[in-house]
């Protein structure tokens, strides 16, 4: 198979496995992102996510992750729900409605890799979905899947931004796609909608102010200055995506694993035991925060 045939086969197979989009870029050092990441870390915009300071070189160079890496295959998996949850006082991000996406995506990537080897031959590579030092949005942008908007999310024209991003870093040559233009224009809707002012006009985020960070990554109690800014969010936040004009093109996903369970009220969260939490949410992204953190956040968000 030549480069064109290989690349077409990968994209066709990815779509058959349920991925929404697939793009390809040439593996190489992310020279444009390097100074931005270094400055962002020095300014402490990562909050207490100390792991962001590690593996700096690996984040920027795929050859540090896969020896002889030649191509990065970027994939998107839609998680936009068919039905919105009737949240009132307690809200969770749409990506957490169903099962933890890591296992769902890793299995799809495993099958994709296997099918490629069956057709092309032995391929060395690794699969990633935000569980390793890979700048997924940068690679998705390079692969022509969209642009990184002012809300710092990858936005895909006529499809929106409710997607998980994954990669296959491979040691084979493939036909690279071209990046697309930025279509945010003069829109500032996400900046104005962010409850905590975490977004800047420079297409950057101060993660230490982001509700997703405060409700998931931050292990300490949420600082009191955010007590009136949570807007009911207790696990993640979709405020910047809800106002994005491009998300009017979002379409419901077709992944059974992402079908969610009914939301809980503040009273139900308060009375939830560890045993029931584990039984009900062991396969959910909510398990990452843990019951104690969630209960504290629910109380905090409810004022």
Catalytic residues: 130
Other residues' Cβ atoms within 10 Å of the Cβ of residue 53: 10
* ∠ CA 23-25-28, rounded to 5°: 155
Q: For strands 233-235 and 91-92, give the pairing.
A: parallel
Tokens at 187, concatenated: 């829109």
Task: Report the distance separating Cα 76 and Cα 104, nearest Å.
Answer: 13
* ∠ CA 230-154-208, rounded to 5°: 35
Task: Point out which residues pair with 128 in neighbouring strands.
Answer: 167
Burial class (CB in 10 A: 0-12, 13-18, 19+), 248: exposed
Contacts 24+ apart (CB under 8 A), 51-55: 54/133, 55/133
DSSP characters over 244-300: -GGGGG------GGG--PPPPPHHHHHH--HHHHHHHHTTSGGGGT-HHHHHHHHHH
Tokens at 116, concatenated: 């490629």
Residue of 159, 134, 133 lying closest to 146 (CA atoms): 159
Task: Report the distance separating Cα 46 and Cα 79, nearest Å.
Answer: 25
């Amino acid at each position: 198979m030549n480069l064109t045939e290989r690349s077409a086969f990968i994209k066709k197979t990815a779509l058959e496995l349920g991925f929404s989009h697939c793009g390809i870029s040439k593996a190489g050092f992310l020279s444009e992102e390097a100074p931005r990441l270094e400055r962002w870390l020095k300014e402490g915009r990562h909050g207490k996510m100390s792991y962001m300071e590690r593996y700096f070189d690996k984040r920027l160079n795929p050859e540090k992750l896969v020896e002889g890496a030649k191509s990065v295959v970027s994939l998107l998996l839609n998680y936009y729900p068919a039905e919105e949850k009737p949240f009132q006082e307690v809200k969770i991000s749409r990506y957490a409605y169903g099962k933890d996406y890591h296992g769902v995506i890793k299995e799809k990537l495993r099958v994709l890799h296997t099918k490629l080897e069956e057709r092309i031959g032995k391929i060395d590579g690794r699969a990633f979905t935000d569980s390793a030092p890979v700048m997924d949005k940068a690679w998705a942008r390079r692969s022509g899947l969209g642009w990184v908007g002012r809300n710092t999310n990858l936005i895909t024209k006529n499809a929106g931004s409710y997607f998980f991003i994954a990669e296959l870093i491979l040691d084979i040559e493939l036909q690279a796609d071209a990046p697309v233009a930025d279509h945010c224009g003069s829109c500032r809707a996400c900046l104005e909608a962010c409850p905590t002012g975490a977004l800047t006009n420079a297409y950057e985020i101060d993660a230490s102010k982001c509700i997703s960070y405060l409700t998931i990554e931050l292990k300490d109690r949420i600082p009191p200055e955010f007590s009136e800014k949570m807007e009911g969010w207790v696990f993640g936040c979709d405020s910047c995506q809800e106002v994005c004009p491009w998300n009017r093109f979002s379409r419901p996903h077709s992944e059974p694993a992402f079908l969610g369970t009914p939301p809980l009220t503040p009273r139900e969260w308060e009375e939830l035991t560890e045993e029931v939490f584990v039984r009900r949410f062991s396969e959910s992204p909510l398990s990452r925060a843990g019951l104690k953190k969630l209960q504290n956040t629910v109380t905090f968000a409810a004022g």
